[in-house]
């Protein structure tokens, strides 16, 4: 039995005409990096998110590197992460000298979610951010998470990376 790891064919077939037209525009322009298609995506995604700006990057890990750097997270700073978490999400934290602090995750209502009492207990004066590997795993309002962490909430998924900041430095 062959079980595909990730079958994107149904999504492609549903939007085939739009995808094919976008591929054609990129191929004909010869602009595979940056260009009008990326500018258009950045504008449209910013509008969708209700923010002024969006910066397209190569992947989610690149986005996390830029966000961690923009927040000036460095030596002595802590970033709370769900446990377990994909190891690659911890590398941008360590790259700039920060420390990833695992927070227990639980299954609640059939969903894998961060444990809110554990999150509250893990917060210290050194906590600068909370990194969620999937925005859907948190079954609490983002405002509650921000008040618990008194910092930034970073959210990363395979498709996008977004940031809701409450920075004391800017």
Residue 169 forms part of a structural domain: no
How is residue 152 annotated by DSSP?
E
Per-residue pLDDT tens for 18-34?
Answer: 999 999 999 999 998 88
Residue 90 lies in a domain: yes
Asked if 121 and 64 sit in the same domain, the reply is: yes
Q: Are residues 45 and 64 in the same domain?
A: no
Q: Is the pLDDT of residue 135 over 70?
A: no
| Same domain for 77 and 27 | no
CATH number, domain with residue 109: 3.40.640.10
Residue 121 lies in a domain: yes
Report whether 119 contacts 80 (CB < 8 A). Answer: yes
Indicate yes or no: pTM above 0.95: no
Asked if residue 170 belongs to a domain, the reply is no
User: How much of the chain is in helix, strand and coil states, percent to nearest 5?
Assistant: 40, 20, 35
pLDDT at 88 over 80: no
Q: What pLDDT, on a 0 to 100 scale, did the predictor assign at position 167?
A: 35
Number of domains in the chain: 2
Query: What are the backbone angles phi and psi of residue 106, rounded to the nearest 5°?
Result: -135, 165
Residue 24 and residue 43 in one domain: yes
Considering the domain architecture, whether residues 42 and 104 belong to the same structural domain is answered as no
Domain range for 118? 60-164
- Does 158 have pLDDT greater than 50? no
- Asked whether residue 163 carries a pLDDT value surpassing 80, the answer given is no
**Host H or E run for residue 106:** strand 99-108
Same domain, 35 and 117: no
Q: What percent of the chain has pLDDT over 90?
A: 15
């Amino acid at each position: 039995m062959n079980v595909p790891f990730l079958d994107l064919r149904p999504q492609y077939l549903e939007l085939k005409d739009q995808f094919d037209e976008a591929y054609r525009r990129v191929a004909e322009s010869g602009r595979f990096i940056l260009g009008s298609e990326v500018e258009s995506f950045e504008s449209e995604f910013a509008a969708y998110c209700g923010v002024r700006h969006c910066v397209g990057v190569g992947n989610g890990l690149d986005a996390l590197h830029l966000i961690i750097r923009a927040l000036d997270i460095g030596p002595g700073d802590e970033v709370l992460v769900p446990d377990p978490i994909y190891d690659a999400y911890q590398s941008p934290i360590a790259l700039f000298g920060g420390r990833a602090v695992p927070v227990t995750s639980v299954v609640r209502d059939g969903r894998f979610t961060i444990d809110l009492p554990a999150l509250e207990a893990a917060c210290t004066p050194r906590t600068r951010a909370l990194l969620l590997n999937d925005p859907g795993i948190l079954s609490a309002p983002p405002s509650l998470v921000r008040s618990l962490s008194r910092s930034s909430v970073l959210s990363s998924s395979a498709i996008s990376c977004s940031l809701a900041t409450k920075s004391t430095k800017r």
